[in-house]
Amino acid sequence: MRRDHLIALRPWEAPEVTSWGRLAMNAVDRRSGALSLDGSWHFQLLPSPMGCSGEWTRTEVPGTWTTQSGDDLPQYTNAQMPWGEFPPASPAANPTGIYERSVDIPAEWAGRRIVLQVGAAESVLLVHVNGRPVGISKDSHLAAEFDLSDVVRPGDPATIRFTVVKWSDASHIEDQDQWWHAGITRSVLLYATDPLHLADVTVRARRDGRLRVDCQVRDAAGPLPQGWYVTGALEGQLLAQDTEFDRFNAEDMRVSDFLGEARLRGTVENVWPWTAETPELYDLTVRLHRADGSVADTSRHRVGFRDVEIRGRDLLVNGERVYIRGVNRHDFHPLTGRTVTADDMRADLVVMKRFGFNAIRTAHYPNDPTLYDLADELGFYVVDEANIESHDHAHEIADDPRYLPAFVDRVSRMVLRDKNHPSVIVWSLGNESDYGANHDAAAGWVRRHDPTRPIQYEGAAKLDWADPTAASDIVCPMYAPIEDCVAHALSGKQTMPLIQCEYSHAMGNSNGTLADTWAAIESTPGLQGGFIWEFWDHGILQRVNDGRPAGRGGAGLYEHGVAAPGHRWAYGGDFGETIHDGAFIADGVVFPDRTPKPVMYEHREIAAPVRLTYDQGVLLVHNRQHFRGLEWLAAEWRLVRADGGRQETLRTPAELPDVLPGESAAVPLPFPVPEGESWLTLRVVTADDEAWAPLGTEVCLPQVRLGEAVADAAPEPASGPAVTLDADALLVHPLLTAAPVLSLWRAPTDNDELGGMAARWRDWGLDALVRKVVDVREEGSRVVVVAEYATGAGPVRHEQVFTQVAGGLRVEESAELPEGLDDVARVGTVFETAPGLDVLDWYGQGPWESYPDRSTGAPVGHHSLPVDELFTPYLRPQESGGRHGMRRFTLSAPDATGLTVELGAPGQVSVNRYRAEELAAAAHHDELVPRPGCVVHLDAAHRGLGTASCGPDTSAEYLVAPGTHRWAWTLRVL
Active-site positions read 432, 502
Cβ(333)–Cβ(343) below 8 Å: no
Q: How is residue 863 annotated by DSSP?
A: E
Q: What gap in Å lies between CA 328 and CA 380, rounded to an integer? A: 12
What is the rounded radius of gyration, in angstroms, for the C-alpha atoms of the chain? 31
Cβ(249)–Cβ(270) below 8 Å: no
Q: What gap in Å lies between CA 965 and CA 943, rounded to an integer? A: 13
3-state secondary structure 494-505: CCCCEEEEEEEE
Q: What gap in Å lies between CA 388 and CA 173, rounded to an integer? A: 5
Cβ(189)–Cβ(31) below 8 Å: yes
Contacts 24+ apart (CB under 8 A), 692-697: 692/349, 692/350, 692/353, 692/354, 692/378, 693/350, 693/353, 693/354, 696/634, 697/354
Task: Give the number of C-alpha atoms closer than 13 A to the C-alpha of residue 726, restricted to the C-beta side.
Answer: 11
Contacts 24+ apart (CB under 8 A), 35-41: 35/103, 35/106, 35/189, 35/190, 35/191, 36/187, 36/188, 36/189, 37/61, 37/101, 37/103, 37/160, 37/187, 37/188, 37/189, 37/190, 38/62, 38/187, 38/188, 40/101, 41/99, 41/100, 41/101
Residues 589-606 as b/e (b if ≥16 CB within 10 A, e otherwise) read bbbbbbbbbbbbbbbbbb
513 Cα distance to chain centroid: 17
Q: How is residue 630 annotated by DSSP?
A: S
Q: What gap in Å lies between CA 405 and CA 18, rounded to an integer? A: 7
Beta bridge partners of 693: 690
Whether a cis peptide bond, with omega within 30° of 0, leads into 364 is yes
Task: Give the number of C-alpha atoms closer than 13 A to the C-alpha of residue 790, restricted to the C-beta side.
Answer: 2
Cβ(554)–Cβ(567) below 8 Å: yes
Helix axes of 342-354 and 369-378: crossing angle, nearest 10 degrees: 40
Sign of CA dihedral 369, 375, 376, 378: positive
Sign of CA dihedral 454, 457, 458, 464: negative
**How do 282-289 and 229-235 pair as beta strands?**
antiparallel
Query: Read out DSSP for 471-533?
Result: S-SBB--BS--HHHHHHHHHSS---S-EEEEEEEE-SSS--TTHHHHHHHHHTSTTEEEEEEE
Residue 406 host element (H or E)? helix 404-418
Sign of CA dihedral 660, 663, 664, 665: negative
Q: How is residue 446 annotated by DSSP?
A: H
Q: How is residue 717 annotated by DSSP?
A: B
Cβ(943)–Cβ(825) below 8 Å: yes
The sheet with strand 124-129 has its strands ordered as 19-20, 132-138, 124-129, 157-165, 96-104, 39-46, 57-61
Q: What gap in Å lies between CA 829 and CA 738, rounded to an integer? A: 11
Helix axes of 514-522 and 482-490: crossing angle, nearest 10 degrees: 10
For residue 832, the one-letter residue type is E
Angstrom distances, CA of residue 21 to CA of 98, 99, 344, 645: 19, 19, 32, 78
Cβ(11)–Cβ(134) below 8 Å: no
